[in-house]
Chains A and B, each alone.
Chain A
């Protein structure tokens, strides 16, 4: 049986960081939330428009339907437009603010039982059993130390064979987004 042996050195670019933030949010937000928001948004917009056309007895009613349509549109587009744009903007700003930390070179080492990431200011070497989950996003691998904190590597930093090895290393802790 082939042994797992990955050793890569990489830098995190702003694009990597933004991609990671999008993958992270994708993981943390349940799919049901998105469906509920879309359904609620559609219902609110439909109700608002129908009421606006048919029931206009007072100015208060018109204001009420107008507010309903605005809320509906906001809720409908929240996870598809507003949230990703917001995440990208925040991630980009955060990267610029923390460039001294993020522009350090990171070295990744994965063997059969250990996961190790080192940089000038941070080192972690934990046995596989201490990892909470390993998530494969669209552009990143996220190694969770607990249910909240994780370390990530951009997918571009590893080749296809190494991706397979990471999946093998993750075993039952592996989740694909």
Chain B
């Protein structure tokens, strides 16, 4: 599986490996993508807006002593605002995960094995059907979780997923360090789900 591993930053190839992404890993990556560039982007602001709108409607209802026959629209807007607040905070994330799974299932390429070559200034992803070369300067977000690396960037904010299952421990650490140093502003590590980590 592992062909080469080089920690020397002066060599052109940092490391290379075969990578195969599973449906749950892709769904997780898509969820992250959705948070950064999709519908979930700015969900805190959107849900806050609807929360404030709910409060205003509630205040109006209270002022009118909950006489719904007088101001029925307020009650409707209150209900819609409360739904939208919940939608942006919780439902949208679940929807993004389902969408990620749907995309994975609809693709003939995502489930295929890809060969990654991590170079000093760019990385390449290759299999029999596809070849992608992406410079680190194109990457807008590099997110590391416990299971995956998600690299977002390039044309149409393409998503590249590296599964840690396909890496050795040394490779995983090397990539983590390398991405951190190479993409200082773009790199983020999500909080570990395991205790004490």
Contacts and interface: CB of A to CB of B under 8 A. Distances in A.
B106 interface: yes
B45 interface: no
A63 B56 CA distance: 10
A54 interface: no
Contact of A64 (B74, B106, B131): B74
Interface in A62-91: 63-65, 67-68, 71
A60 B60 contact: yes
Most chain B beta-carbon contacts within 10 A, residue among A48, A51, A98: A98
Interface residues of A, number: 32
Interface string A128-158: 0110100000000000011111000000000
B155 A130 contact: no
Contacts of B8: none
A175 interface: no
B143 to A, nearest CB: 18
A61 interface: yes
Contacts of B109: 126, 130, 145-146
Interface string B102-116: 111011111000000
B64 interface: yes
B133 A149 contact: no
Contacts of A48: 73
Given A61-B71, A98-B138, A98-B154, A146 B107 contact: yes
Nearest to A132: B106
A101 B107 contact: no
Interface of B: 56, 60, 63-64, 70-71, 73-74, 77, 99, 102-104, 106-110, 129-134, 138, 154-156, 158
Interface of A: 47-48, 51, 57-58, 60-61, 63-65, 67-68, 71, 98, 100-102, 120-126, 129-130, 132, 145-149
